[in-house]
Amino acid sequence: MLLIPCPFCGDRDETEFAYGGDAGIERPADPGTATDEAWTDYLCFHDNPKGPHRELWFHRDGCRRWLTVERDTYTHELRTARLSRP
């Protein structure tokens, strides 16, 4: 079970969090002008790397903040965790 260093609450168990996927995905600023291809890229085509990954975790049972966490998907090493909205 991962130990996630919540910048607000301190170290907490993974079970207090919900996973939110890749943190690098930006919603197109004007969806109306996005091509079908750009929009499906945003919706569906996400990287699933082996190794370092910036991802989102929601501290559901703590401060209820979304965190951006840098985790190695192979070793589970966690490098940083910061509030997605400071």
Q: Rule CB under 8 A: which residues touch other proteins?
A: 1-3, 8-13, 15-16, 18, 20, 27, 30-32, 34, 36, 39-40, 43-44, 56, 58, 60-66, 75-76, 78, 83-85
Least CB distance from residue 42 to other proteins, whole Å? 8
Q: Quickly list DSSP for the chain.
A: --EEEETTTEEEEGGG-EEEEETT----S-GGGS-HHHHHHHHH-----SSEEEEEEE-TTTT--EEEEEEETTT--EEEEEES--
Least CB distance from residue 14 to other proteins, whole Å? 8
Q: For other proteins, which is the closer residue by CB, 49 or 74?
A: 74
Q: For other proteins, which is the closer residue by CB, 3 or 49?
A: 3
